[in-house]
Amino acid sequence: MSKPLVGIVMGSDSDLAVMEEAAKILHEFGISHEITIASAHRSPKRVESYARGAEKKGLRVIIAGAGGAAHLAGVLASRTILPVIAVPLNSPLRGLDSFYSTLQMPSGVPVATMGIGKAGARNAAILAVEILAIKYPGLRRKLKEYKRQLAQKVGEKDRRWKPKS
């Protein structure tokens, strides 16, 4: 297995069921990745050392999923120049707290915030592929095929639900 290009980080093992959706997409595109649990609040030193070491160990994009007062993506972004993509996760406040905590970053420390939950996790992985595709032409071809299949599925759904004349 080649060295991971994408690091998926999440605040708790309770986030795994959602964040695995990102891993599945990366797997489909054949992108090596790693999964790490580290919490901005419960294990801040672990988060800091992950972010500081990420570029040197070969990571090119970080995806961070956290729920509630979600500061994981922002703290990672404060300690690395790698692009950080955030996935706000569900919470007792239906993920809106996570969403706002992640979205409104101060100027100078960007985080690309996805939608809440599984769709956000999948989109985070696709965005990571798009970033990597700038360098790898093989990924550009796979992305075009992925979009073609998306459109084809919509066409199939349309045909399935149209009343037969």
Residues that bind ligand RP5 (CB under 6 A): 10-12, 14-15, 39, 66-68, 89
Nearest distance from residue 78's CB to ligand RP5, in Å? 17
> Which residue, 49 or 152, has its beta carbon nearer to ligand RP5?
49
> Which residue, 32 or 90, has its beta carbon nearer to ligand RP5?
90
Residue 141 Cα to chain centre, angstroms:
21
C-alpha–C-alpha distance, residues 10 and 36, integer Å: 6
> Which residue, 80 or 101, has its beta carbon nearer to ligand RP5?
101
C-alpha–C-alpha distance, residues 116 and 89, integer Å: 6
C-alpha–C-alpha distance, residues 7 and 49, integer Å: 13
Residue with the CB atom nearest ligand RP5 in the bound state: 11
Nearest distance from residue 10's CB to ligand RP5, in Å? 6
Nearest distance from residue 82's CB to ligand RP5, in Å? 20
> Which residue, 32 or 43, has its beta carbon nearer to ligand RP5?
43
CB burial string 31-63: b at 16+ within 10 A, e below = bebebebbbbeeeeeebbebbeebeeeebbbbb
Q: What is the DSSP letter of 8?
A: E
Nearest distance from residue 128's CB to ligand RP5, in Å? 19
Helical segments of 65-117, H only: 72-78, 96-103
> Which residue, 92 or 106, has its beta carbon nearer to ligand RP5?
92
Nearest distance from residue 29's CB to ligand RP5, in Å? 25
